[in-house]
Amino acid sequence: MIVKKISLAVTALFSMTMFAQESATASLEIKSEVKLSYLDSIKSTFKKDDLAAKVDSLWMNELVSLDIYDDLTKDIQTINKDVTVDEELPTELLKQRLAVMNEKSPFEIEYNQGLENIIKSFLKNRKKSFSRLMALSEYYFPIFEETFAKEKVPLEIKYLAVVESALNPKAVSKMGATGLWQFMYGTGKQYSLKIDSYIDERSDPLKATAACSDYLTRMFNIFNDWELVLASYNSGPGNVTKAIRRSGGKTGYWDIRNYLPKETQGYVPAFYATMYLFEYHKEHGINPERAVVKNFETDTVCIKNQMSFKQIADLLDMPQSQIQLLNPSYKLNVVPFYQGEQHFLRLPKDKIATFLSNEDKIYAYVKHESEFKTIPTRLAMKIAPKGKPVRDTQSLEVSKDIEFYKVKKGDNLGSIADKYNVNISDLKKWNNLKSNAIALGKTLKIKSDIDSSVKAVKEPKTLPVIEKNTGEAIASADDSDKVSIQTVEYVVAAGDNLGSIAKKFGTTIADLKTLNDLTSNNIGLGKTLVVSKIVTEIQEPVSTAVASNSVDSFKKKAPSAKTMSEDYYVKKGDSLYSISKKYPGVTISDIKKWNGIKDEDIKPGMKLKING
């Protein structure tokens, strides 16, 4: 009996082993069928490095959001320091706390009713904003303090960036002042901040802070009073000297405040109110949100070739929004390469480690991408005009298209840009926006990459060529003159309507109704709609019948599509692939055959013969 049990156990164990081996073999066979893209094949060879945790995407949204900037800017410009605010904060207690702040500060912090009103206004209306600002400060304040300490600028000046930009390096005022410290174009140039098509160093935290420190030091040498320096930073030194003259020669900020521009009158009190809330946030129940990443958890690498944020994000498996946050001075989401200049990319330390360990492979991928870069065509092409067959062999799966977004409550340019993975500056350009303010209900135009929900592409149907008038003769079709029509279809899903489908495929409701013979806007769930038709000319010799008004009709064979010769001179950045795309129906092999080229090595200035 025992022998039987042992035999059964051995048999079962042997069967399980064989089954496991078969499963493993089947799994290997399945995996072997998977084809990797060039990007995946590159990444599969990367050395992995787990030095630090990934940056949290929610934290990125907080850092790039512009709503706090808009709210605080509006408050500072419109707040009435003379109106008493009903908020629990005893005046005597406030006086004591301001006195403590004054003892350890080079500023002349003293109580007045206007300051109390602004502090209470912030406590009443902006508690949540300050909670988020304190999280942002964990990233930016160490950068400011390090620079100010070197230049002997009071460390409290760091709160000025809260008042100026709400700690957003992408903040742009109505007047065009940009960055954490809100430099105008001329001031930025004056302090050697680079501003060109690719770069705006007014948005660079390190370089802009150094320029701010330089400016503040020069102003202090003139006024010898830090409050007047703050006033001059907001309204310019000229307005401060005018206020001094109008006050009869007084040089204290509180003495000349009423002679300053209206915005500047609330500027220094807003600075002190900000300082107070950062110092006494616990006493007022403000719980700072914690930063997921600190500045010391990031590092930089010098870039040796131009590369886009998208390429970096794809290679390092991180969202573009993280790269935008850490590198706000690059305007076009591209790290450029200039001869004789160094450009740095800031990333979390774990990504820096991955970058440095796989640098050669990363640059090889970027080079490959640049050689085969093509401009994507619209996915859903409208029906070709009569007599103009469309030849387009590019991909029908991804296109650069226009979407429309209606602004909802709580939206801001930062959140909308992040949602569609585009730049705030692009959103403003596409919609002719002068500032970051957007009205509730406004419809914004957004150009984005759309992945189509294409059900199927029907097999081409062969049809006679459409009749066309050349001005001298009318070409009639015969059986050898043919084109193919491809239709792109979409299956209606829950929540769809003609408007959303038209927007998704870059077409119009009228076109959809024409394509599908619809008499109303009603569509049923699961219905298959034709969203586009692509008319393609078949590449084969054709014969045409030509009729003349003055002579009898006669027939002659039309020339082949590749019999007309043209010379093309290779430009910088050209490849055989990109050149072939300039001539519909021409392939790389055609160009190599016509020019006796054995490989794909071509040089700028080289003349190529194109027979087509």
Could you read off the pLDDT of 470-499 as tens digits, one per residue? 333 323 334 444 545 566 778 787 778 887
In a domain, 524, yes or no: yes
| Residues 77/263, Cβ–Cβ less than 8 Å | yes
In a domain, 4, yes or no: no
In a domain, 304, yes or no: yes
Paired tokens of 402 = 């226009």
Residue 221 has a pLDDT of 93
**Per-residue pLDDT reduced to its tens digit, 324-350:** 888 999 988 899 998 888 999 999 988
Is the torsion defined by CA of 123, 126, 131, 135 positive or negative? Answer: negative
In a domain, 2, yes or no: no
Instruction: Look at strands 344-348 and 298-302 and give their pairing.
Output: antiparallel
Domain of 576 in residue numbering reads as 560-611
Band (pLDDT 50/70/90 cuts) for residue 97 is very high
Residue 308: enclosing H or E segment and its boundaries? Answer: strand 307-308
Distances in whole angstroms, Cα of residue 555 to Cα of each of 472, 547, 562: 15, 9, 21
312 and 344 inside one domain: yes
In a domain, 48, yes or no: no
222 and 210 inside one domain: yes
95 and 184 inside one domain: yes
In a domain, 309, yes or no: yes
> Does the predicted TM-score (pTM) go above 0.85?
no
358 and 382 inside one domain: no
Which stretches does DSSP call E strand in 407-560? 443-451, 461-464, 468-469, 474-476, 482-491, 528-537, 543-547, 554-557
In a domain, 11, yes or no: no
363 and 344 inside one domain: yes
Residue 428 has a pLDDT of 84
Most confident option among 104-108, 419-423, 433-437: 104-108
222 and 279 inside one domain: yes
Distances in whole angstroms, Cα of residue 18 to Cα of each of 14, 25, 32: 6, 10, 21
Please indicate whether residue 120 or residue 526 has the higher confidence score (pLDDT): 120
Task: Return all residues near 483 (Cβ < 8 A) that are at least 6 apart.
Answer: 389, 462, 463, 465, 466, 535, 536, 537, 538
Helix (H, G, I), strand (E, B) or coil at 33: coil
Band (pLDDT 50/70/90 cuts) for residue 538 is very low
407 and 467 inside one domain: no
In a domain, 38, yes or no: no
262 and 130 inside one domain: yes
Residue 27 has a pLDDT of 40
Instruction: Give the distance from CA 37 to its chain's centroid.
Output: 24
Q: Give the chain's radius of gyration (CA, Å).
A: 33
Task: Choose the weakest-confidence range: 209-223, 246-260, 528-542, 552-566.
Answer: 552-566
Band (pLDDT 50/70/90 cuts) for residue 160 is very high
459 and 434 inside one domain: no
Residue 292 has a pLDDT of 58
Q: Which of 232, 256, 284 is the last residue of a domain?
A: 284
CA distance 170 to 66: 8
Total domains in the fold of the chain: 5
Task: Choose the weakest-confidence range: 8-12, 248-252, 514-518.
Answer: 8-12
Mean pLDDT of the chain: 74
At 594, which CATH number? Answer: 3.10.350.10
464 and 553 inside one domain: yes
578 and 602 inside one domain: yes
Paired tokens of 528 = 């298959």
584 and 447 inside one domain: no
At 139, which CATH number? Answer: 1.10.530.10
